[in-house]
Structure 1
Amino acid sequence: MEIRELKVGDAYEVTPKILGDSRGAFLEWFRADRLQETTGRRLDLLQANASISRAGAVRGIHFADVPPGQAKYVSCPRGALLDVVVDIRVGSPTFGAWDTVLLDDVDRRGVFVSEGLGHGFMALEDDTMISYLCSAPYTPAREHGVHPLDPAIGIEWPTTGRNGAPLEPLLSTKDTEAPSLADAEQQELLPSYDAVQSFLASLRG
């Protein structure tokens, strides 16, 4: 298993070693000890989610108030998706930056997203499934979003699916009505970089 930090700090791409033979394949898709070795903190599993999406579906950019926030370890058991992490921490040296990882049922990578970061994805084919291991339960009053098509962020969403068919972003009403990054900052919805770092330090302590 290889773990590397993305250009958005406190987010990591995890690439498992896949062992295959005539029967199929085996892999360790999550290792708490390896993640802790790299990040310096544990992921305490309090909720597990899954969603299934049609090609072009965009979910996010979502985040939760810190503390307690919600760290996520995401993977794609079926299909393919482009996973996106956005630095929404006000005062961060990479505020507004984003990075992507292709998650699919071939390479079977995962992404670990720490508390205080924005997360979203686009499904690249029908019936794509994403699984989430979460550090905190879903609490609607603490959950927020930033518009995934905000031109100021400038995420380069795919225009073709895994099979080469054209894609159009499909958003929920909630995500369509989400504020831009600038408006979310003005409304004081975004976490501060210093507060997030203080919280992460308490987890590492």
Structure 2
Amino acid sequence: MKFKETILKGCFEIEPQLFADERGYFYESYHLKKFQENTGIDIQFVQDNESKSKYGVVRGLHLQRGEFAQAKLVRVLSGKILDIAVDVRKDSPTYGQSIAVELSDENKKQLFIPTGFLHGFSVLSDEAVVYYKCDAFYNKASEDGVNPLDMDLQIDWQIPSSDMLLSEKDRHAKSFRELTPVSL
């Protein structure tokens, strides 16, 4: 596995080592010791989630607060997405900055998003199945978020606005300026 820290401290792009032959392929998608050794992050994942979405869907930007704040390890089982992480950690030198990483069933890349980040993605293929591990359990009362189309963030979701599909919750989410930064 190759671990590459992004411009956002604590956020890692992970590329597996693929073993392929005429039968197909094999790769290790997660290994606790390798993860800890390469990131310096001591983590225990407690919940796995999966979503299926069609082209044009934009999900996010979401986070959980307090004791239910979640770090996530995101990968794509089928299709292709643009995965987005936005740093909202109070006093972070990269506060308000975002990264975009293309994750697909072809490139097998993963994105680790630590606590203190908004997360979202757009579906670039006809459909995509996204799978992610979380280090805290979901708690509805702890959820927060920002409208993914917020002009202050200037995120290019790589989907024409006429093709975007957002939930009502995301469409009516608060602006970035209204978001209280996350204290860690």
TM-score greater than 0.5 by the shorter chain: yes
Structure 1 counterpart SS, 2:66: coil
- Residue 102 (structure 1) aligns with: 102
- Residue 174 (structure 1) aligns with: 169
- Residue 199 (structure 1) aligns with: none
- Residue 152 (structure 1) aligns with: 152
Structure 2 counterpart SS, 1:36: helix
Q: Which structure 1 residue ranges, 4+ long, deviate > 6 Å from structure 2?
A: none
Q: Any conservation in 2 of the 1:88–1:181 contact (CA below 8 Å)?
A: no
Q: Any conservation in 2 of the 1:20–1:26 contact (CA below 8 Å)?
A: yes
Unaligned runs of 5+ in 1: 161-165, 197-205
Q: Any conservation in 1 of the 2:84–2:121 contact (CA below 8 Å)?
A: yes
Aligned equivalent of 1:183, options 148, 170, 178: 178
Displacement of 1:42 in angstroms is 2.5
* Distance across 1 between alignment mates of 2:18 and 2:7: 25
- Residue 44 (structure 1) aligns with: 44
- Residue 33 (structure 1) aligns with: 33
Q: Any conservation in 1 of the 2:60–2:170 contact (CA below 8 Å)?
A: yes
Identity within the alignment, %: 36
Displacement of 1:56 in angstroms is 0.8
Q: Which has the larger share of strand?
A: 2
Q: Any conservation in 1 of the 2:3–2:39 contact (CA below 8 Å)?
A: no
Structure 2 counterpart SS, 1:148: coil
- Residue 10 (structure 2) aligns with: 10
- Residue 123 (structure 1) aligns with: 123
Letter in 2 for 1:181: F
* Distance across 1 between alignment mates of 2:118 and 2:38: 21
Cα shift readout 1:106-146 (whole Å, capped 9, x = no counterpart) = 11000111111111100112330000111111100001111
* Distance across 2 between alignment mates of 1:116 and 1:108: 25
| Residue-pair matches, total | 184
Q: Any conservation in 2 of the 1:55–1:167 contact (CA below 8 Å)?
A: no
* Distance across 2 between alignment mates of 1:72 and 1:25: 25
* Distance across 2 between alignment mates of 1:100 and 1:167: 21
Question: Considering only aligned residues, what root-mean-square deviation do their CA atoms show, in Å?
Answer: 1.5
Cα shift readout 1:4-26 (whole Å, capped 9, x = no counterpart) = 11111111100011111001111
Letter in 2 for 1:24: G
Displacement of 1:38 in angstroms is 2.4
TM-score, normalised relative to structure 2 = 0.94
TM-score, normalised relative to structure 1 = 0.85
* Distance across 2 between alignment mates of 1:84 and 1:66: 21
Structure 1 counterpart SS, 2:34: helix
Unaligned runs of 5+ in 2: none
Displacement of 1:68 in angstroms is 4.1
